[in-house]
A = this chain, B = another copy of it.
């Protein structure tokens, strides 16, 4: 379910965050679904529980998951879609940075839109 690339420059906890987010977007994880406990996930992906805990805390901060005391961790009932202005702005800046790469690679607007649309629909 979660694949960690230990060679990646992206930190492990960030990979966990991204992949759980991805799984919620794709619908593989639905609101209310339980996700593995910190210790189980740590065993599954062969990292220390602290690292998983950090990822889960970040996900809870972003309201992707909810933790219930002594019970475990679950996908949030209300999956964001809160027009958080700061978050949109941050995403926009990130997008600009990535699109710069495409521009430099000589991709024209039409091609870029096709690529972006294809990816977006696959999410």
Contact = CB atoms under 8 A, between A and B. Distances in A.
A100 B69 contact: no
Interface in A70-123: 71, 79-84, 87-88, 90-92, 94-107, 109, 112-113, 115-117, 119-121, 123
Closest 10 CB pairs of A and B: A81-B106, A91-B101, A94-B98, A7-B66, A6-B68, A103-B123, A95-B98, A96-B119, A25-B103, A98-B98
21 contacts: A6-B69, A6-B71, A7-B68, A9-B67, A22-B100, A61-B61, A80-B106, A81-B105, A83-B105, A91-B101, A91-B102, A91-B105, A92-B115, A95-B98, A96-B123, A99-B119, A99-B123, A102-B120, A103-B123, A109-B121, A112-B120
